[in-house]
Amino acid sequence: MSSLSRRDLLKAAPAAALPLLAGRLRGDDPPADPAFPGLTVRMYEPQNLEFPLSALKSWLTPNEQFYVRSHFAEPAVDPKTWRLTVEGEVEKKVELTLEDLRGMPAVTRPTTLECAGNNRAFVVPAVAGVPWGPGAVSNAEWTGVPLAAVLEMAKIKPGAVEVILVGADVGTVTGSPGAIHFDRSLPLEKARKPEVLLAYKMNGEDLSAAHGAPVRAVVGGWYGVASVKWLTRLVVTAKPHAGFWQTTDYSIYRRRNGLPEVAPITTMQPKAAIARPALHEAVPAGKPYKVFGAAWAGEAKVARVEVSTDGGKTWDAATLTGEDRPFCWRTWEYAWKVPAEKGRAKLLARATDADGATQPEKRDPDRRNYMINHLVPVEVIVR
């Protein structure tokens, strides 16, 4: 029922029905649809919309709930005239239509994308950038062609090192040299891996405009910024690309001989996110509560998730559940015996990957305003 018709109905409700409605918001029961509720607006235009993590219900995020992170207005790309070019350090310049691409052998792989700015709202003191809560992360099944197959067609020249992925979207941002496209490079070593796709379908549906129609890159294991949407050009280079989106933006400091130098953001860091309880959720005292969430670790597998319900003093193993696929988040749960005493409780979760890397307790300033995976407690009300 639309809100309009519901309002009309309320207006028309007989007086006798009104006492029933008083004192609470009378809506329909929440729909059973896993895409309910919708996205949280962090910025209306360009669109920056957050997945409501506390409504996590399924390993695959429904398309309607998949977070959106766009730096410019959605470009109008006509799939009929759309072309993808492969240029630069190649023996043979390639130009593909959407039909060409769809005619190539397709693969379908689930992949989790997380924005490098996810959790930014939890950084103290506050930093610049879209103030994401915990939900700038989602998992979908992508269908397309391996980037490697398209690079192969163009025959890369010896000595080439990177491929720049260029989006059709364009605009001016603070510090940019006028109007620029969104672009990101991948070292050819990563670009040729099977987890890097040129995708035209998301969870079995044609890619939507918000997610990069008609074709986007999906770079498994790397922060979402590498997964360029509205892809139009692949430029193979003999030198590493030092573009705006991997130096001024989406870069961190890496120390060499103790001296910080600018480096592009690449792999997702281990993180366990608590979906429920949500921040300041009221949990019933003395009852069991199923704490649950998702954890991911970029190119590595999640080895374990631990939970603390006493603000980090003691830790207990959570149970990894559901699908276990590379480059994807893993759901987890933990049976919490909520104390009988009313008050507050501080919950934490931390992930450790198969290489032994774990989440830091404190924020590392070398990461600027990106790669936010230090531990942040979820405080709840026990009552």
Binding region for ligand MTE (CB under 6 A)? 66-71, 113, 115, 167, 169, 182, 211, 224-225, 227-230
Find out whether 140 and 61 touch, Cβ atoms under 8 Å. yes
The count of other CB atoms within 10 Å of the CB of residue 347 is 25
- Select the binding partner of residue 113 from ligand MTE, Mo ion, none (C-beta < 5 to 8 A, by kind): ligand MTE
40 within 8 A of 176, measured Cβ to Cβ: no
Please enumerate in sequence order all residues whose Cβ is within 8 A of that of 373, keeping only pairs 6 or more positions apart, or say none. Answer: 119, 269, 270, 271, 359, 360
How is residue 235 written in tokens?
């430029």
Contact residues for 137 (Cβ-Cβ < 8 A; gap 6+): 51, 53, 67, 112, 113, 114, 115, 118, 273, 294, 296, 329
| Partner interacting with residue 230 (select from ligand MTE, Mo ion, none; CB below 5-8 Å by kind) | ligand MTE
CB nearer to ligand MTE: pick between 49 and 96: 49
How crowded is residue 322: how many other Cβ atoms within 10 Å of its Cβ?
Answer: 14
Per CB under 5 A, does 225 bind Mo ion? yes
**How far apart are the two ends of the chain, measured CA to CA in Å?**
34
221 binds, among ligand MTE, Mo ion, none (CB under 5 to 8 A by kind): none
| Least separation in angstroms between CB 227 and Mo ion | 9
Residue 207, token pair as written in the block: 């890619």
Among 133, 144, 224, 298, binds Mo ion (CB under 5 A): 224
The minimum distance between CB 117 and Mo ion, in angstroms, equals: 6
Which does residue 182 bind out of Mo ion, ligand MTE, none, counting CB within 5 to 8 angstroms by kind? ligand MTE
Distance CA 196, CA 187 (A): 12
Among Mo ion, ligand MTE, none, the one that 211 touches (CB under a kind-dependent 5 to 8 A) is ligand MTE
Residues 320 and 332: beta-carbon distance below 8 Å: yes
Of 214 and 224, the one with the shorter C-beta distance to Mo ion is 224
Q: How far is the CB of 290 from ligand MTE (least distance, A)?
A: 28
**113 vs 297, which CB is nearer to ligand MTE?**
113
228 binds, among Mo ion, ligand MTE, none (CB under 5 to 8 A by kind): ligand MTE
Task: Give CA torsion, residues 168, 172, 175, 181, to 10 deg.
Answer: 10
Alpha helices in 134-204 (DSSP H): 147-154, 188-191
CB 163 within 8 A of CB 151: yes
Stretch that binds Mo ion, among 66-74, 94-102, 181-189, 278-286 (CB under 5 A): 66-74
Nearer residue to ligand MTE within complex by CB, 182 or 327: 182
Q: Which of ligand MTE, Mo ion, none sits in contact with 271, Cβ below 5 to 8 A by type?
A: none
Complex with ligand MTE: residue 61 or 352, whichever CB lies closer? 61
Q: Which residue has the tokens 């997964």?
A: 227
Shortest distance (Å) from residue 76 CB to Mo ion: 22
Q: How far is the CB of 114 from ligand MTE (least distance, A)?
A: 7
132 binds, among Mo ion, ligand MTE, none (CB under 5 to 8 A by kind): none
Is-cis flag, bond preceding 158, omega within 30?
no
Nearer to ligand MTE, 138 or 331 (CB): 138
User: Which amino acid, residue 80?
Assistant: K
> Restricting to residues 87-146, which ones interact with Mo ion according to CB under 5 A?
115
Residues that bind Mo ion (CB under 5 A): 69, 115, 224-225
